[in-house]
Structure 1
Protein backbone atom coordinates (compact mmCIF):
# COMPACT_ATOMS: atom_id res chain seq x y z
CA UNK A 1 0.00 0.00 0.00
CA UNK A 2 1.18 3.52 -0.78
CA UNK A 3 0.60 6.86 0.88
CA UNK A 4 0.38 10.37 -0.52
CA UNK A 5 1.40 13.39 1.54
CA UNK A 6 -0.77 16.47 1.04
CA UNK A 7 -0.49 19.81 2.81
CA UNK A 8 -3.26 21.19 4.96
CA UNK A 9 -5.97 22.31 4.47
CA UNK A 10 -6.10 20.22 1.28
CA UNK A 11 -5.64 16.89 3.09
CA UNK A 12 -8.57 17.70 5.38
CA UNK A 13 -10.65 18.83 2.40
CA UNK A 14 -10.15 15.34 0.96
CA UNK A 15 -10.68 13.36 4.17
CA UNK A 16 -13.49 15.46 5.67
CA UNK A 17 -14.82 17.51 2.77
CA UNK A 18 -15.76 17.25 -0.88
CA UNK A 19 -12.34 17.46 -2.53
CA UNK A 20 -12.01 14.43 -4.81
CA UNK A 21 -9.33 15.78 -7.15
CA UNK A 22 -5.68 16.08 -6.14
CA UNK A 23 -3.61 18.34 -8.40
CA UNK A 24 -0.13 17.16 -9.29
CA UNK A 25 2.46 18.12 -11.89
CA UNK A 26 2.99 14.45 -12.75
CA UNK A 27 0.58 11.66 -13.70
CA UNK A 28 -0.30 8.77 -11.43
CA UNK A 29 1.86 5.74 -12.22
CA UNK A 30 -0.52 3.37 -14.05
CA UNK A 31 0.16 0.51 -11.64
CA UNK A 32 -1.43 2.53 -8.80
CA UNK A 33 -4.72 3.31 -10.55
CA UNK A 34 -7.51 1.41 -8.82
CA UNK A 35 -5.59 0.88 -5.56
CA UNK A 36 -6.33 2.11 -2.05
CA UNK A 37 -3.95 4.76 -0.74
CA UNK A 38 -3.44 6.46 2.59
CA UNK A 39 -3.99 10.22 2.76
CA UNK A 40 -1.22 11.77 4.85
CA UNK A 41 -1.43 15.33 6.18
CA UNK A 42 1.97 16.99 5.83
CA UNK A 43 3.65 18.65 8.77
CA UNK A 44 3.68 21.92 6.81
CA UNK A 45 0.67 23.88 5.57
CA UNK A 46 -0.40 26.19 2.78
CA UNK A 47 -1.57 28.59 5.50
CA UNK A 48 -3.69 31.55 4.50
CA UNK A 49 -3.80 30.96 0.74
CA UNK A 50 -5.10 27.40 1.06
CA UNK A 51 -7.50 28.33 3.85
CA UNK A 52 -8.99 31.18 1.82
CA UNK A 53 -9.37 28.94 -1.25
CA UNK A 54 -11.20 26.30 0.79
CA UNK A 55 -13.54 28.98 2.18
CA UNK A 56 -14.13 30.28 -1.37
CA UNK A 57 -14.97 26.79 -2.70
CA UNK A 58 -16.95 25.35 0.21
CA UNK A 59 -18.20 28.35 2.13
CA UNK A 60 -16.92 26.85 5.39
CA UNK A 61 -14.05 27.70 7.71
CA UNK A 62 -11.74 24.65 7.55
CA UNK A 63 -10.00 25.44 10.85
CA UNK A 64 -13.33 25.31 12.67
CA UNK A 65 -14.96 22.45 10.75
CA UNK A 66 -12.19 19.92 10.19
CA UNK A 67 -9.59 18.39 12.53
CA UNK A 68 -6.21 20.10 12.13
CA UNK A 69 -3.98 17.04 12.06
CA UNK A 70 -0.45 17.36 10.73
CA UNK A 71 2.25 14.75 10.28
CA UNK A 72 -0.34 11.97 10.31
CA UNK A 73 -2.41 9.67 8.13
CA UNK A 74 -5.96 11.04 8.26
CA UNK A 75 -7.82 9.10 5.58
CA UNK A 76 -7.97 6.33 3.03
CA UNK A 77 -9.09 6.62 -0.61
CA UNK A 78 -9.17 4.74 -3.88
CA UNK A 79 -7.00 6.28 -6.58
CA UNK A 80 -9.57 5.85 -9.35
CA UNK A 81 -7.82 7.50 -12.27
CA UNK A 82 -5.84 10.41 -13.62
CA UNK A 83 -6.16 12.85 -16.49
CA UNK A 84 -4.57 16.10 -17.56
CA UNK A 85 -6.55 19.26 -16.94
CA UNK A 86 -9.57 19.41 -19.19
CA UNK A 87 -11.73 21.80 -17.12
CA UNK A 88 -13.89 18.96 -15.81
CA UNK A 89 -12.90 18.95 -12.14
CA UNK A 90 -14.23 22.26 -10.91
CA UNK A 91 -14.02 23.69 -8.38
CA UNK A 92 -11.03 21.74 -7.04
CA UNK A 93 -9.11 21.02 -10.26
CA UNK A 94 -6.35 23.46 -11.22
CA UNK A 95 -5.46 24.47 -14.78
CA UNK A 96 -2.30 22.92 -16.17
CA UNK A 97 -2.08 20.03 -13.70
CA UNK A 98 -2.83 16.33 -13.69
CA UNK A 99 -6.03 15.62 -11.80
CA UNK A 100 -5.80 12.53 -9.63
CA UNK A 101 -9.30 11.17 -9.14
CA UNK A 102 -10.14 9.98 -5.62
CA UNK A 103 -13.17 7.86 -4.71
CA UNK A 104 -14.37 5.86 -1.71
CA UNK A 105 -12.76 8.37 0.64
CA UNK A 106 -12.97 7.60 4.36
CA UNK A 107 -11.69 9.83 7.15
CA UNK A 108 -10.00 8.01 10.01
CA UNK A 109 -11.54 8.53 13.46
CA UNK A 110 -8.03 9.02 14.91
CA UNK A 111 -5.00 10.37 13.01
CA UNK A 112 -2.09 7.93 12.76
CA UNK A 113 1.21 9.78 13.35
CA UNK A 114 3.68 9.15 10.54
CA UNK A 115 6.53 10.92 8.86
CA UNK A 116 5.61 11.55 5.23
CA UNK A 117 7.67 12.02 2.08
CA UNK A 118 7.43 13.70 -1.30
CA UNK A 119 5.46 11.85 -3.97
CA UNK A 120 4.17 8.37 -3.31
CA UNK A 121 5.83 6.65 -0.41
CA UNK A 122 5.56 3.32 1.32
CA UNK A 123 4.38 3.55 4.92
CA UNK A 124 5.45 1.05 7.56
CA UNK A 125 3.33 -2.02 8.10
CA UNK A 126 2.50 -0.66 11.56
CA UNK A 127 1.16 2.60 10.05
CA UNK A 128 -0.90 0.75 7.44
CA UNK A 129 -2.37 -1.59 10.06
CA UNK A 130 -3.21 1.30 12.40
CA UNK A 131 -4.99 3.16 9.58
CA UNK A 132 -6.80 0.24 7.96
CA UNK A 133 -7.74 -1.19 11.32
CA UNK A 134 -9.75 1.99 11.95
CA UNK A 135 -11.31 1.96 8.50
CA UNK A 136 -12.31 -1.68 8.29
CA UNK A 137 -11.61 -3.28 11.62
CA UNK A 138 -9.20 -5.64 9.85
CA UNK A 139 -5.42 -5.23 9.66
CA UNK A 140 -3.67 -5.21 6.28
Structure 2
Protein backbone atom coordinates (compact mmCIF):
# COMPACT_ATOMS: atom_id res chain seq x y z
CA UNK A 1 0.00 0.00 0.00
CA UNK A 2 1.15 3.48 -0.76
CA UNK A 3 1.86 6.06 1.88
CA UNK A 4 -0.61 8.90 1.47
CA UNK A 5 0.18 12.58 1.71
CA UNK A 6 -2.80 14.26 3.29
CA UNK A 7 -3.82 17.91 3.00
CA UNK A 8 -3.82 20.16 6.02
CA UNK A 9 -7.07 20.68 7.88
CA UNK A 10 -10.32 18.99 7.05
CA UNK A 11 -9.19 15.77 5.33
CA UNK A 12 -11.28 12.83 6.54
CA UNK A 13 -14.90 11.74 6.88
CA UNK A 14 -16.70 8.65 8.11
CA UNK A 15 -19.15 6.43 6.28
CA UNK A 16 -21.47 4.02 8.09
CA UNK A 17 -22.15 0.77 6.27
CA UNK A 18 -24.28 -2.10 7.53
CA UNK A 19 -22.71 -5.48 8.00
CA UNK A 20 -21.85 -7.67 6.15
CA UNK A 21 -21.28 -4.99 3.48
CA UNK A 22 -18.64 -3.16 5.54
CA UNK A 23 -16.57 -6.33 5.89
CA UNK A 24 -17.01 -7.02 2.17
CA UNK A 25 -15.21 -3.72 1.51
CA UNK A 26 -12.28 -4.88 3.63
CA UNK A 27 -12.17 -8.09 1.60
CA UNK A 28 -12.79 -7.22 -2.07
CA UNK A 29 -15.70 -4.81 -2.56
CA UNK A 30 -14.55 -1.48 -4.02
CA UNK A 31 -17.96 -0.04 -4.96
CA UNK A 32 -20.30 1.21 -2.24
CA UNK A 33 -23.86 1.81 -3.42
CA UNK A 34 -25.72 4.92 -2.22
CA UNK A 35 -29.08 6.47 -3.19
CA UNK A 36 -27.58 9.93 -3.79
CA UNK A 37 -24.33 11.47 -5.03
CA UNK A 38 -21.54 12.32 -2.60
CA UNK A 39 -19.48 15.47 -3.25
CA UNK A 40 -16.78 14.40 -0.76
CA UNK A 41 -13.52 12.96 -2.12
CA UNK A 42 -10.74 11.82 0.16
CA UNK A 43 -10.20 9.50 3.08
CA UNK A 44 -13.14 7.77 4.74
CA UNK A 45 -13.25 5.89 7.99
CA UNK A 46 -15.18 2.68 7.35
CA UNK A 47 -17.70 2.36 10.17
CA UNK A 48 -19.80 -0.76 10.56
CA UNK A 49 -23.34 0.02 11.62
CA UNK A 50 -25.02 -1.59 14.58
CA UNK A 51 -27.49 -3.55 12.44
CA UNK A 52 -26.83 -6.68 10.45
CA UNK A 53 -28.39 -7.16 7.00
CA UNK A 54 -29.23 -10.85 7.53
CA UNK A 55 -30.63 -11.55 4.03
CA UNK A 56 -27.31 -10.39 2.53
CA UNK A 57 -25.54 -13.27 4.29
CA UNK A 58 -27.20 -15.65 1.80
CA UNK A 59 -25.73 -13.85 -1.23
CA UNK A 60 -22.92 -16.06 -2.67
CA UNK A 61 -20.71 -13.04 -3.43
CA UNK A 62 -21.06 -11.80 0.15
CA UNK A 63 -20.60 -15.25 1.68
CA UNK A 64 -17.34 -15.74 -0.23
CA UNK A 65 -16.01 -12.30 0.75
CA UNK A 66 -16.71 -12.63 4.48
CA UNK A 67 -15.77 -16.28 4.96
CA UNK A 68 -13.63 -16.59 8.09
CA UNK A 69 -14.04 -12.93 9.06
CA UNK A 70 -15.71 -11.46 12.13
CA UNK A 71 -18.59 -9.05 11.50
CA UNK A 72 -17.91 -6.24 13.96
CA UNK A 73 -20.85 -3.96 14.74
CA UNK A 74 -20.75 -0.31 15.80
CA UNK A 75 -17.05 0.25 15.17
CA UNK A 76 -14.57 1.77 12.75
CA UNK A 77 -12.99 -1.23 11.04
CA UNK A 78 -10.86 0.40 8.36
CA UNK A 79 -10.18 3.34 6.06
CA UNK A 80 -10.41 3.85 2.32
CA UNK A 81 -9.81 6.56 -0.23
CA UNK A 82 -13.00 7.72 -1.96
CA UNK A 83 -11.86 8.68 -5.46
CA UNK A 84 -15.13 8.99 -7.40
CA UNK A 85 -18.90 8.93 -7.17
CA UNK A 86 -21.01 8.49 -10.28
CA UNK A 87 -24.58 7.54 -11.09
CA UNK A 88 -25.17 4.08 -12.46
CA UNK A 89 -24.70 4.13 -16.22
CA UNK A 90 -25.04 0.40 -16.78
CA UNK A 91 -22.68 -2.57 -16.52
CA UNK A 92 -20.61 -1.43 -19.50
CA UNK A 93 -19.42 1.61 -17.46
CA UNK A 94 -19.12 0.06 -14.00
CA UNK A 95 -18.19 -3.58 -14.36
CA UNK A 96 -17.94 -4.45 -10.66
CA UNK A 97 -20.14 -7.32 -9.54
CA UNK A 98 -20.85 -5.20 -6.44
CA UNK A 99 -22.38 -2.28 -8.39
CA UNK A 100 -26.16 -2.12 -8.03
CA UNK A 101 -28.33 -0.64 -10.75
CA UNK A 102 -30.18 2.66 -10.36
CA UNK A 103 -28.00 4.12 -7.57
CA UNK A 104 -24.77 6.08 -7.20
CA UNK A 105 -21.46 4.21 -6.98
CA UNK A 106 -18.81 5.36 -4.53
CA UNK A 107 -15.46 4.13 -5.88
CA UNK A 108 -13.00 3.15 -3.15
CA UNK A 109 -9.24 2.65 -3.40
CA UNK A 110 -6.42 1.89 -0.99
CA UNK A 111 -8.65 0.06 1.51
CA UNK A 112 -6.89 -0.54 4.83
CA UNK A 113 -8.18 -2.76 7.62
CA UNK A 114 -7.70 -1.84 11.27
CA UNK A 115 -6.04 -4.59 13.31
CA UNK A 116 -8.44 -3.76 16.17
CA UNK A 117 -11.91 -2.24 15.58
CA UNK A 118 -12.52 1.08 17.33
CA UNK A 119 -16.04 1.39 18.85
CA UNK A 120 -17.77 4.48 17.49
CA UNK A 121 -21.11 6.01 16.55
CA UNK A 122 -21.66 6.98 12.92
CA UNK A 123 -24.37 8.52 10.75
CA UNK A 124 -26.13 7.70 7.49
CA UNK A 125 -24.43 10.37 5.40
CA UNK A 126 -20.77 11.38 5.36
CA UNK A 127 -19.90 12.41 8.90
CA UNK A 128 -16.95 14.21 10.41
CA UNK A 129 -15.13 12.08 13.00
CA UNK A 130 -13.89 13.52 16.25
CA UNK A 131 -10.17 14.16 16.57
CA UNK A 132 -10.07 11.52 19.31
CA UNK A 133 -11.48 8.90 16.93
CA UNK A 134 -9.03 9.90 14.18
CA UNK A 135 -6.16 9.67 16.69
CA UNK A 136 -7.25 6.13 17.65
CA UNK A 137 -7.30 5.11 13.98
CA UNK A 138 -3.91 6.73 13.31
CA UNK A 139 -2.38 4.70 16.14
CA UNK A 140 -3.16 1.60 14.09
CA UNK A 141 -2.67 3.06 10.61
CA UNK A 142 0.17 5.56 11.11
CA UNK A 143 0.88 5.86 7.38
CA UNK A 144 -2.39 7.81 7.00
CA UNK A 145 -0.75 10.70 8.85
CA UNK A 146 0.21 13.89 7.05
TM-score calculated relative to the size of structure 2:
0.83
Could you report, residue by residue, the CA deviation over 1:71-101 in whole angstroms, capped at 9, with x for unpaired residues? 0000100001011112224310000010000
What SS is found at the alignment partner of 1:60?
Answer: helix
Hey, which bits of structure 1, 4+ residues long, moved more than 4 A? 137-140
* Structure 1 position 9, deviation (Å): 0.2
- The answer to which structure has the higher helix fraction is 1
Aligned to 1:112: 118
Tell me: CA distance 1:120–1:58, structure 2 relative to 1, closer, same or farther (3 Å).
closer
Cα distance change, pair 58–38 in 1 and its aligned pair in 2 (3 A) = same
1:41 is aligned to 48
Residues paired across the two proteins, number: 132
* Other-structure match for 1:68: 71
- Report the RMSD for the aligned CA atoms in angstroms: 1.8
Structure 1 runs not aligned, ≥5 long: none
TM-score, normalisation: structure 1: 0.87
Provide the rounded CA distance (Å) in 1 between the counterparts of 2:73 and 2:127: 17
